[in-house]
Chain A
């Protein structure tokens, strides 16, 4: 790992200031992606700006029909939160199945979605639930936030402060984990929201996407059988040593059925 300057600002303003002064700065959450990448010298930031001491980025709260989770909340805290378990058990379950206990102690919601790994779990939840990503200056709908492989709508130096999730009528997540890392080979998040049924798929393509055909089928009949005969084309899906595109396309159907079956 190359040398860098380390900052631990206590306010959003100081974090922005530190970022603007650095030659090639990077925000640091739990470091679960950033540090391995720096050790491999695939990244060599001049400055690491640790967001751990900024109060606005912390905490979980439930008010009326909105669950709010601060960007620096680690996966284990989401998994164990009484508020998340009561309002959105599918999200608590998703967080509790990320990686392993040590990764969950450090990895954060903000770090996961800022990184937008194509195999990360959270993007599916955000898109299916119609969540909003809050930065110091604006609110971005999840649908517009995830723009491509490892790409998001965040501007240079823009921080994620928190994510708000409208509480759905019901929701479930099913993933086929990579047996080594537990990242999603394919993960499908199904939710009945105020805007109807939403089905979001992660792990399968370069970026999270909604499965419109599945949504239509489930809108008419919310049962696993309703998905019989509905399939997703493997065109454009990921193909790697873990799974071919055709296998992933098949897994989308299987995981969607499993998620729906959890609810019926």
Chain B
């Protein structure tokens, strides 16, 4: 995993009313705090200062879902959210999914089922799918297709992705990741 940058100290406390609001949040379980321009998008905070480049920016126009991260467990397009809006939130990026040197079951399933080719859409696909599986214990193929409506893949034709999500969800349920 890529190390987070050392949190920068906050020179002034107080209401975040400036063009440089102080932001503090948690990314993959680690606290992050700093002052960033108000217009900093969450994807830019993640990919720039935090060097978590697993979050991909495909379209930058809310269409493709490559930039999806989990915020307090819910999938969100990080290109359509200000870093300041994530104040106090818990963020999971693709880098935060694997633990103890072991892939998450959904990552493993994408590999097993050949659900990626170029891999550009994959971080968003996997994070959206993890949330989908946690929210829906009896996931069917139609739920997966509907749940991935906001995630575009230009390579795979989706069949293997749906297969992978079904398999990953099953494994998650067996491991008690719900």
Binding site for B on A (CB under 8 A): 1-8, 18, 28, 31-32, 35-36, 38-39, 48, 50, 52, 76, 99-103, 105-106, 180, 182
Contact = CB atoms under 8 A, between A and B. Distances in A.
A39 B60 contact: yes
A159 to B, nearest CB: 18
A1 B41 CA distance: 10
B80 A4 contact: no
B15 interface: yes
Which of B61, B75, B80 has the most CB atoms of chain A within a 10 A radius of its CB?
Answer: B80
A102 B77 contact: yes
Nearest to B149: A100
A31 B81 contact: yes
A36 B150 contact: no
Given A35-B81, A36-B80, A6 B17 contact: yes
Nearest to B128: A101
B76 interface: yes
A189 to B, nearest CB: 21
Nearest to A77: B74
Contacts of A50: 84-85
A182 B62 CA distance: 13
Q: Secondary structure of the A side of the interface?
A: mixed
A50 to B, nearest CB: 6
B56 to A, nearest CB: 14
B1 interface: no
Nearest to A101: B75
Contacts of B60: 39
Interface residues of B, number: 35
Interface in B22-76: 37-39, 41, 60-63, 65, 68, 71, 74-76
B18 interface: yes
Q: Secondary structure of the B side of the interface?
A: loop
Given A4-B38, A7-B16, 19 more contacts: A1-B41, A2-B39, A4-B39, A5-B17, A6-B17, A28-B85, A31-B81, A31-B82, A35-B80, A39-B60, A52-B85, A76-B74, A99-B149, A100-B150, A101-B149, A102-B75, A103-B77, A103-B150, A105-B71
For the complex of A and B, list the 3 residue pairs with the smallest distance between their C-beta atoms, beginning with the closest: A100-B150, A6-B38, A105-B74
Interface string B124-149: 00001001100000000000000111
A102 B148 CA distance: 10
Contact of B80 (A6, A8, A32, A52): A32
Contact of B62 (A36, A48, A76, A101): A36
Which of B19, B38, B60 has the most CB atoms of chain A within a 10 A radius of its CB?
Answer: B38
Nearest to A97: B146
B78 to A, nearest CB: 9
A246 to B, nearest CB: 28
Given A4-B39, A5-B19, A106 B81 contact: yes
28 contacts: A3-B38, A4-B39, A5-B18, A6-B38, A6-B84, A7-B15, A8-B15, A8-B16, A8-B21, A8-B84, A31-B81, A32-B80, A35-B81, A36-B61, A36-B80, A38-B39, A52-B85, A76-B74, A99-B149, A100-B65, A100-B150, A101-B128, A101-B147, A102-B77, A102-B128, A105-B71, A105-B74, A182-B149
B87 interface: yes
Contacts of A101: 74-75, 128, 131-132, 147, 149-150
Contacts of B39: 1-4, 38
Given A3-B19, A5-B17, A99 B80 contact: no
Contact of B21 (A6, A18, A103): A6
Nearest to B127: A102
B61 to A, nearest CB: 6
Nearest to B39: A1
A32 to B, nearest CB: 6
A8 B131 CA distance: 28
Nearest to B150: A100
Nearest to B73: A105
B150 A99 contact: yes
